[in-house]
Structure 1
Amino acid sequence: MNEQESTREPRLRRRALLAATAAIGAGAMIEGPLAGTASAAAFGYSDDGTNYVIDTGASLVFKVSHVNGDLTSLVYKGTEYQGFDGKNSHVESGLGASTVTISQSGTTILVKVVHGTLIHYYAARSGENNVYLWTNKADTSVSATRYIVRVKPGLFPNTDPDAWDSATDTVIEAADVFVKPDGTTRSKHYSGLRVMDYDYIGWSTGSVGLWMVRSNHEKASGGPFYRSLLRHRNDGGGGLYEILYYGENQTEAQRFGLQGPYVIAFTDGGAPASALYARNIDTSWADALGLTGWTGASGRGRVAGVGISGRDSAYPYTVGLANADAQFWGTADAGTGYFSIPKVLPGTYTLTVFKGELGVYTGSVTVTAGATTVLNTIAVVNDPATASAIWRIGDWNGTPAGFKNASLMTYAHPSDVRASAWTGDFTVGSSSAGSFPAYIWKDVNNGLAVYFKLTAAQAAAAHVLRIGISTNYINGRPQVTVNGWTSSVPSPPTEPSTRTLTVGSYRGNNVTFTYSVPASAWLTDTSQYNVLRIYVASGSSGTAYLSPGVSVDAIDLLA
């Protein structure tokens, strides 16, 4: 498409209206997800002197500032939804002075925002109540990569775990975690979802729905299990996010390039059309828009695996592809392990098979445009659960699932009234994994004890103790004692440097610590309990739930 900058004259508006009217008169179809029933004669754009005003020809009119590229208005069925505290919707916290142009190609209007090396796009399609967005970030000149839709207060209820009321709730951590009068906690971090768990996020009144439909995150960082804030709402307004790279809980370096489309979608209260979901969306209409960095379907390939052997049927398996430029993933069939990952950018990728969220196989695969790379059956050989153990607490799956408070911690603070006490010594043979705390902090429940007995033969030999963690906080890592024996302090693993355990995320870089416990450490009286104590070691300091801590995956003593 030869993009033409708007001359901001009324004749462009009239030309767009005439073109749309002629198309309808000729029997042209209004195509695309959620095509509206309203007359497309209104489809077009104008300039109010400060903003480009885009009428989708359905029930949505939105404005984009031609000074800085902010989304300054979202009017759906006559109601303004955009804005709170005088703030607009925009990339990051607003780009500032930018070069903004607008053009129309058939039934698509495209706004292009250029700010230094960053390019952002808005698109409208005739007859749809959607705004399509792309962001192309080329370097670190913009620190994070997110888009936030700021929504006026009072339009949707404040009843979710990521919603709070500043008039009644009290800040208990930083400026973003609140406790309500009933002792439950709320935060913008508490959406409780991994990237692969959701297609969209938003709100509904029953008669109006406002949604952010996420992109495929191919240029994001963190993989399919990444957790980040998705939305927030309080008495002052709300926000919907598409976050591709954020400073919190980040496990990878950021990736650069064009990401999208992600979609702001309005509905009559229901979920957005499934045709908008990243795994379903047909973006062939965008091929002719001239988006910088765009790769259409013909320039992509597919990876397909015949199967995965050595799986544990109790767990889902995910196959991830990652390199410095992109990431993709797919779910393996529960019965055969077959997987297919479509729409992959060409390149060579590290392929990881995840049991739950724990990597149990790593290989390499090369993807070619227009072709399918077929892989023979992959044999899982690195599952720690296959090792013979004298005893094991929890399951090796890369998460604290099954431990005390684990399920609550993706949408609540550890101090939440709904959390059970973080204490909980464990006796092998009589205690359940659900009685052992999911998290251990230096200043909260340090020195948790595991009691166990050994046979004479077992006590006569050295054994390897393993403790797996899914993440830590401020360099926390487990140091152990067994009866009178003390382990050395392990080196700190590479984990996110920000808050983790208190902001709804146990996701980090899974690490297994091993301790060679000598035979001399065991009690010789087989009727007595040996006592393992787990401490959190760190050179960093903090208090309570912001003291050094770890999230536990599994603990076992090998035979």
Structure 2
Amino acid sequence: MPEISRSGIKRRSLLATTAATTAVAALAGPLSSTASAATFGYTDDGSNYVVDTGASLVFKVSKTNGDLTSLVYNGTEYQGYGGKNSHIESGLGTSTVGILQSGTTILITVVYGTLRHYYAARSGENRVYMWTQITDDSVASSRYILRVKAGLFLNDEPDSYTYAPTTVEASDVFAKADGQTRSKHYSRLRVKDYSAIGWTTGSVGLYMVRSNHEKAAGGPFYRSLLRHQSADGGGLYEILHYAQNQTEDRRYGLQGPYAIELTAGGAPGALPDTSWADSLPLSNYVGASGRGRVAGVGITGRDTAYTYTVGLANSAAQYWTTARASDGYFSLTGALPGTYTLTVYKEELAVLTQSVTVTAGGTTTLNTLAVPASNDPSNATAIWRINDWTGTPAGFKNADLMTYAHPSDVRAASWTGNVVIGSGTETSGFPCYLWKDVNSGITVYFKLTAAQLATAHTLRIGVTTAYANGRPQIVVNDTYTSAVPSPPTQPSTRSLTNGSYRGNNYTFTYSVPASAWQTDAGTYNTLKIYVASGSGTTSYLSAGTSIDAIDLLA
């Protein structure tokens, strides 16, 4: 195996070291000559390791606690606000910090208890690569925050509250004078929707390029805070575990690489090839040769009007990819060995699951996957249907706005208002969210033929998440009242008010007897949908739920 420095310390011996402090002490020695100005290398200023990438970027890492204390690009300092540095979590205490240079790579290792954080630089690149290893719950959340000086990237986006001084909810949702709401939670984006998040002036761009979220939680559709702007400055995040509206247990291990990237103004794509990291002493690192691939010939039974996502997940890792629109072909590469649940999603609704095993260095080829018709609720014959079944509230009133605004936002249409089947506005007129204290009891008007009036029917209401155990209870024609259904498992934190409708998809079914219907086919029947729960507080923090679709089956 190749040597990593002129000291004669080889990678094998470094990896074999079990004591964290011993390993980092080995890294901290005189492993290479330091660089002269404007060339790739590092120096030690007494308090920090100073890394010059040999391009336009110079950054500093504290030798005391592993904070990123400086980020200078083309002579301008970008790091820091409010006297705070950039760091993993909320900042670490006294840590063991070491550095090594091996050819065109510099690696800084920070050890704090069971946590390890790594910074890496490559010659000629304006990036700071990072990995974070978390092995237990001694760390509350998994995040890196890059703190950016105020005034460098002013904006007025949904996740900026520089100009929104009035608090709407908790201490993290604000309102501008014109009634528009702002919060760091309002990113609009699901994890699968972006590869980098940041700002640009047109001539300078500063971005956090995300990892593949292999060790994160929440899946491809998870929404989390990504950045913020305030009067103090800005923050860019890589969040690998966040308890807010979380549907999965935490995963542990080495997470990354992710990177801070400076550009000439354009947005970067995903990280370039990082196989150079295979030779670095990163704890629990698995290179390409230790990973495998899953490839699917295609997927039948799809509704081609929608996007299909294929995901792999187990307790150790998660991956996803978009199936090809023409035939459903997919390929998931770079997966850790193990047995996974493979899930096919129609938009965000799971329509097929099966087990699949990944082997190191191998490809698991799957024959065409067939989605059974019964697995997609849209295939059931309905007398009427409000919205299609996609696992999302997309299409309902205010649905798009709610990914980047509070329900009280001035741009939101009225949360009340009844709908009439056959009007052509059933979906656009029905609110995406229902709350006990806001619009419980919303009414759907519909007619049935004489033959339909003579029989019982099943009513289905699909939900995507709930707050404070909110769930729908129905009343038909004021003569039939359903039992209060048991609440399904949902996240216990805020969701509907902080930009996320994503929880656990669930379908409530109600058997409505023939005796509940009107006797005259020319008379409208009424369906009233109430939100049942004794939890929650008031208004938009009362018990609530997000709607996927509603239908009455034939």
Please report the TM-score for the alignment, with normalisation by the length of structure 1. Answer: 0.93
Matches of 1:43 and 1:307 in 2, distance apart?
A: 47
Q: Which of 438, 461, 464 lines up with 1:467 in the alignment?
A: 461
Task: Note the alpha carbon deviations across 1:111-161, whole angstroms, 9 max, x for none.
Answer: 111111111100011111100000111011101001000001011112211
Question: Which residue does the alignment assign to 2:287?
Answer: 296
Question: Which residue does the alignment assign to 1:557?
Answer: 552
Deviation at 1:241, TM superposition (A): 0.4
Deviation at 1:105, TM superposition (A): 1.1
CA contact (8 A) 2:27 2:99 kept: no
Unaligned residue ranges in structure 2 (runs of 5+)? 1-10, 15-22
The alignment status of 1:63 with 2:60, answered yes or no, reads: yes
Task: Note the alpha carbon deviations across 1:422-450, whole angstroms, 9 max, x for none.
Answer: 11211111142101101111111110101
Q: After TM superposition, list the pairs within 5 Å mapping 1:59-138 onto structure 2.
A: 59-138=56-135
Matches of 1:246 and 1:341 in 2, distance apart?
A: 25
CA contact (8 A) 1:284 1:297 kept: yes
Q: After TM superposition, list the pairs within 5 Å mapping 1:174-323 onto structure 2.
A: 174-272=170-268, 274=269, 277-278=270-271, 281-323=272-314
Question: Which residue does the alignment assign to 1:378?
Answer: 369
- The letter for the 2-side match of 1:408 is L
Matches of 1:207 and 1:331 in 2, distance apart?
A: 33
Q: Which of 412, 419, 428 lines up with 2:421 in the alignment?
A: 428
Question: Which residue does the alignment assign to 2:487?
Answer: 492
- The letter for the 2-side match of 1:474 is A
Matches of 1:238 and 1:521 in 2, distance apart?
A: 57
CA contact (8 A) 2:228 2:234 kept: yes
- The letter for the 2-side match of 1:423 is T
- The letter for the 2-side match of 1:195 is V
State how many pairs are aligned. 530
Question: Which residue does the alignment assign to 1:21?
Answer: none
- The letter for the 1-side match of 2:364 is T
Deviation at 1:553, TM superposition (A): 0.2
Question: Which residue does the alignment assign to 1:139?
Answer: 136
Matches of 1:363 and 1:486 in 2, distance apart?
A: 38
Task: Note the alpha carbon deviations across 1:292-340, whole angstroms, 9 max, x for none.
Answer: 1111111111111111111001100000100000000111111101111
CA contact (8 A) 1:8 1:47 kept: no
Matches of 1:230 and 1:165 in 2, distance apart?
A: 16
Taking a change above 3 Å as real, the CA distance of residues 7 and 187 of structure 1, as seen in their structure-2 partners, is closer
Task: Note the alpha carbon deviations across 1:33-78, whole angstroms, 9 max, x for none.
Answer: xxxxxxx962111222211111111111111111111111111111
- The letter for the 2-side match of 1:531 is T
CA contact (8 A) 1:459 1:519 kept: yes
Which stretch of structure 1 is more off in the superposition, 75-84 or 224-233?
Answer: 75-84
Deviation at 1:184, TM superposition (A): 0.8
The alignment status of 1:17 with 2:35, answered yes or no, reads: yes
Taking a change above 3 Å as real, the CA distance of residues 112 and 538 of structure 1, as seen in their structure-2 partners, is same
Matches of 2:178 and 2:217 in 1, distance apart?
A: 37
Matches of 1:90 and 1:528 in 2, distance apart?
A: 65
Matches of 1:102 and 1:407 in 2, distance apart?
A: 47
Secondary structure of 1:186's aligned partner: strand
Question: Which residue does the alignment assign to 2:473?
Answer: 479
CA contact (8 A) 2:27 2:100 kept: no
Question: Which residue does the alignment assign to 1:151?
Answer: 148
Q: Which of 402, 408, 432 lines up with 1:415 in the alignment?
A: 408
Deviation at 1:165, TM superposition (A): 2.0
Q: After TM superposition, list the pairs within 5 Å mapping 1:305-454 onto structure 2.
A: 305-381=296-372, 382-432=375-425, 433-454=427-448
- The letter for the 2-side match of 1:153 is A
CA contact (8 A) 1:219 1:258 kept: yes
CA contact (8 A) 1:5 1:103 kept: no
Please report the TM-score for the alignment, with normalisation by the length of structure 2. Answer: 0.93
Matches of 1:170 and 1:231 in 2, distance apart?
A: 20
Matches of 1:421 and 1:230 in 2, distance apart?
A: 29
- The letter for the 1-side match of 2:239 is I
CA contact (8 A) 1:8 1:46 kept: no
Taking a change above 3 Å as real, the CA distance of residues 4 and 183 of structure 1, as seen in their structure-2 partners, is closer
Aligned residues with identical type, % of pairs? 69
Taking a change above 3 Å as real, the CA distance of residues 364 and 8 of structure 1, as seen in their structure-2 partners, is closer
Taking a change above 3 Å as real, the CA distance of residues 8 and 297 of structure 1, as seen in their structure-2 partners, is closer
CA contact (8 A) 2:349 2:391 kept: yes
Deviation at 1:498, TM superposition (A): 0.8
Matches of 1:224 and 1:284 in 2, distance apart?
A: 24
CA contact (8 A) 2:96 2:112 kept: yes
Matches of 2:536 and 2:288 in 1, distance apart?
A: 50
Task: Note the alpha carbon deviations across 1:201-257, whole angstroms, 9 max, x for none.
Answer: 000011111000000001000000000000000121000000010121111001001
Deviation at 1:361, TM superposition (A): 0.6
Q: Which of 513, 516, 519 lines up with 1:518 in the alignment?
A: 513
Q: How well do the aligned residues superpose, as a CA RMSD in angstroms?
A: 1.5
Secondary structure of 2:289's aligned partner: helix
- The letter for the 1-side match of 2:258 is Y
Q: After TM superposition, list the pairs within 5 Å mapping 1:523-542 onto structure 2.
A: 523-542=518-537
Secondary structure of 2:428's aligned partner: helix
Deviation at 1:541, TM superposition (A): 2.9
- The letter for the 1-side match of 2:288 is A
Matches of 2:518 and 2:210 in 1, distance apart?
A: 56
Matches of 1:497 and 1:103 in 2, distance apart?
A: 44
Question: Which residue does the alignment assign to 1:34?
Answer: none
Matches of 2:28 and 2:365 in 1, distance apart?
A: 52
Question: Which residue does the alignment assign to 1:456?
Answer: 450
CA contact (8 A) 2:308 2:323 kept: yes
- The letter for the 2-side match of 1:145 is S
CA contact (8 A) 1:403 1:435 kept: yes
CA contact (8 A) 2:24 2:111 kept: no
Deviation at 1:397, TM superposition (A): 0.1
Secondary structure of 2:279's aligned partner: coil
Matches of 2:85 and 2:430 in 1, distance apart?
A: 46
- The letter for the 2-side match of 1:521 is A
CA contact (8 A) 1:399 1:552 kept: yes
Matches of 2:27 and 2:290 in 1, distance apart?
A: 35
Q: Which of 476, 501, 504 lines up with 2:496 in the alignment?
A: 501
Taking a change above 3 Å as real, the CA distance of residues 12 and 253 of structure 1, as seen in their structure-2 partners, is closer
Matches of 1:413 and 1:528 in 2, distance apart?
A: 38
Secondary structure of 2:303's aligned partner: coil
CA contact (8 A) 2:175 2:182 kept: yes
Matches of 2:144 and 2:34 in 1, distance apart?
A: 29
Secondary structure of 1:163's aligned partner: coil
